[in-house]
Amino acid sequence: MRLDQLSAAITLICYAVLPCYAAGHGRRAVDAYAPQRATCPTSSIVRPASSLATGEAQYITARKVIADPALASWLKKVNDTFDTSLLPTLGLAGSSGGYRALLNEAGILQAMDARDSNSSVHGLYQAFIYHAALSGGGWLATSLAAWNWPTISYLQKTVYEPNLQNGLLLPGGFYAPLAYAQTLADVTAQAAAGYPVTAGDIYGRLLGYNLFPGPDGGVALTMSGLTSSANFTGHKVPYPIITSTGTNASSSGNCTEPPDATQYEYTPHEFGSWDKGVNSFVQMSYLGSNLTNGMVHGKCASGFDNLGFVTASTSNVFGFLCDPLYSSAGDFASLADALQSAILEVAGPASSGLFNEIPNSFLEYTHASAVSSAKLLTFGDGDLSLQNDPIKNTFLQAEAQGLTKMPTIPPTSTFVAEALGTQARFFGCKQPNTITIVWLPLVSYSSSAGSDISTFDIEVSEANTDSIIRNGNLIATQNNDLQWPTCLACAISMKTAKSLPAACDACFAKHFVS
C-alpha cells in the first residue's frame, strides 16, 4: 500500500469495514483498549518522590538474590581473581533510534544472554537488575515484556523478521485492513469513554501489531499487568523502566520540547518523575484517573496504561515535523499525516494532536508545581529535547535537577575530537560517588550489516533485520576483542572490589574517559 494512499484507506475502512467488523468480532478488543472504571483503593494512589515504590523496592531486593550469583559466576569465568565479596547493582540502558536501536540492542542483549549465546559476554544479562529504555530501545524492552521475556532468537524468528518487513504501515501483512479497522474501533471506544485520543493512540496500536502477541496486537496488555507475568513474578528478569519526555505540545499545534523538559518514567508499579517540577508518582494501574490534589473524583480509571500506548509515548517523534528541517522525513512524515487524518475522522478536531496525552494525575498536587495547573500531560521522544547520544545534555539536565549520581560527560566537541564513538568507553571511573557508565556506541562492524539505518525508517527487510542483530552481537563483544570481557569486568568491579587484576590497568587506559 502506497503511503499517499494510507490516509484515504484508513478513512474508507472507518466507514466501510469498521461497523461490521466491530459488531461481529471486535467487542472484546474494543473493551480492552478503552479504559474502564474501577473501585479505588482506600489508600492514596499518588505520592511524593521520596523513595522507590514499595513494589519496585521489593522486586529489586528479590532480584538481587538471583542476579548477584550470576554476576559473581560471570566475573569468575572471566578471571577467577576478581573479588566478588561485594557486588554492584547493574542496569542495562537502551537508547533511541527506531528499528536501528531495537535491532542493534537486541543483538547486544542476545550476546549477553546465557540462554541464547556462547559469546565472550554470555551470562551477563542474567546479572542485570534494571533494564531502562526509551524510543527504539523501549520497543525492545516492551516486546520482551509482552512475550514474557523470551530469547532474542525467539523474537527474531517469531516477531521481528515477519513483522518489521511489513513495518508500521501493513500490520498483519495481508490482514492490515482488519487491523486498521480494529485500531479505529479501539480509539473510537476510548474517545466515547471520555478519554483523550491523539495520533499517538493509533501509533501505539500499530506498534502493538508490530511487536506484541495475539491477532489484536496485544490490545489487552498493560504496563501494570506485567507484574503477573511468570518471569516477572519469579524475579528472573531485570526490572523494566520506560522513559518519556514531557512536552509543551497541545492540540493547537505547539509541539516543542525545551532542553530541560521533564523526564518521566513508566514502571510496572508507577508513573511519574523524580524531576523537581513534578517530584511525584501515581500507581500505574490507576493511570488516567480523574485526580485533584491527589484525591480521586468518582471511580478510578483502569487499563489506561496500555502497553502499546506506553511504547508510543516513549518513541513519539512526530514533533520533528514542526521543524522545516524534517518536513521531508519521507515515509515518516506521510505516516504522521495519515494518523492525524484518521484521528480527525474518529475523534474530531479537538483530539487531533500528534503527541500522547494523559489526564494529569498531579493536578493541583503540592509536590508537582511545574504541572499542577495542567489538565493533560503530553509526551514524546527524548530526542525532541536533545536527550540523545552523545549523552551530554542528559548529564546537564540531571545536574540541573540535583540528581548527582550520573558521572561527568564531556562536551560533544570532545566526542568528536577524540573519536570517542569508535569503541566502548567508561565514564565515572574516578568519581566514587557516581555510577559507572559503560557506553557501547553504535559501530557498523561489517559493511554488509546495514546497521546505521535512519530513525525514520518504518520497515526493515528480513535480511537486514538479521544483519543488524548480528552487528549488535559484535557491539557487545567489541568485534570479538579477546581482552574485552576482562575490561568490561574491570569496569563493573572497580567501585566494589577490594582489589582488581593487574590487567585492568591497560583496560582503563584504553577505555576510560576522564
DSSP 222-236: BSGGGGGSHHHHTT-
Of all residues in the chain, the percent with pLDDT exceeding 70 is: 83
Q: How high is the pLDDT of residue 453? A: 84
Tell me the average pLDDT of the chain: 86
Name which of 179, 177, 236, 251 is nearest 210 in CA terms: 179
Residues 90 and 128: beta-carbon distance below 8 Å: yes
CB atoms within 10 A of CB 38: 14
Q: Please determine, for residue 147, whether its predicted confidence score (pLDDT) is greater than 80.
A: yes
Q: How high is the pLDDT of residue 468? A: 95
Greatest extent of the chain over all pairs of C-alpha atoms, in Å: 72
Q: Looking at per-residue confidence, does 493 or 327 come out higher?
A: 493
Average pLDDT over residues 470-474: 96
Give Cα separations from 190 to 73, 208, 304, 315, 398 (angstroms): 49, 16, 9, 21, 35
pLDDT in tens, 412-460: 899 999 999 999 999 999 999 999 999 999 999 976 667 778 877 888 9
Q: How high is the pLDDT of residue 14? A: 41
For the entire predicted model, the pTM comes to 0.91
Residues 6+ apart with CB under 8 A from 352: 198, 199, 251, 340, 343, 344
Q: How high is the pLDDT of residue 354? A: 77
Q: Please determine, for residue 280, whether its predicted confidence score (pLDDT) is greater than 50.
A: yes
3-389+441-480: CATH, from 3.40.630.30, 3.40.1090.10, 1.10.730.10, 3.40.50.2300: 3.40.1090.10
pLDDT in tens, 26-74: 334 447 899 999 999 988 999 999 999 999 999 999 999 999 999 999 9
Q: How high is the pLDDT of residue 210? A: 93
Q: Where are the domains of the chain?
A: 3-389+441-480
Read off the pLDDT band of 273 (50, 70, 90). Answer: very high
Q: Please determine, for residue 208, whether its predicted confidence score (pLDDT) is greater than 70.
A: yes
Read off the pLDDT band of 128 (50, 70, 90). Answer: very high
- CA of residue 86 relative to chain centroid, distance: 30
Q: Are strands 356-359 and 300-302 parallel, antiparallel or unpaired?
A: unpaired
Residues 156 and 195: beta-carbon distance below 8 Å: no
Q: Looking at per-residue confidence, does 20 or 487 come out higher?
A: 487
CA–CA gap between residue 422 and residue 276 (Å, rounded): 36
Q: Are strands 295-296 and 437-439 parallel, antiparallel or unpaired?
A: unpaired
pLDDT in tens, 389-412: 668 888 888 888 888 999 999 998
Q: How high is the pLDDT of residue 26? A: 35
CA–CA gap between residue 221 and residue 461 (Å, rounded): 27
Read off the pLDDT band of 319 (50, 70, 90). Answer: low
- Return the beta strands (E) in 235-325 as ranges: 239-246, 263-266, 270-273, 280-283, 291-292, 295-296, 300-302
Q: Looking at per-residue confidence, does 247 or 326 come out higher?
A: 247
Q: How high is the pLDDT of residue 93? A: 95
Residues 6+ apart with CB under 8 A from 82: 75, 76, 489, 493, 497, 500, 501
Name which of 316, 354, 24 is nearest 178 in CA terms: 24
Residues 506 and 484: beta-carbon distance below 8 Å: no
Q: Which stretch, 178-187, 320-329, 461-470, has highest mean pLDDT?
A: 461-470
Q: Please determine, for residue 350, whether its predicted confidence score (pLDDT) is greater than 50.
A: no
Q: How high is the pLDDT of residue 249? A: 56
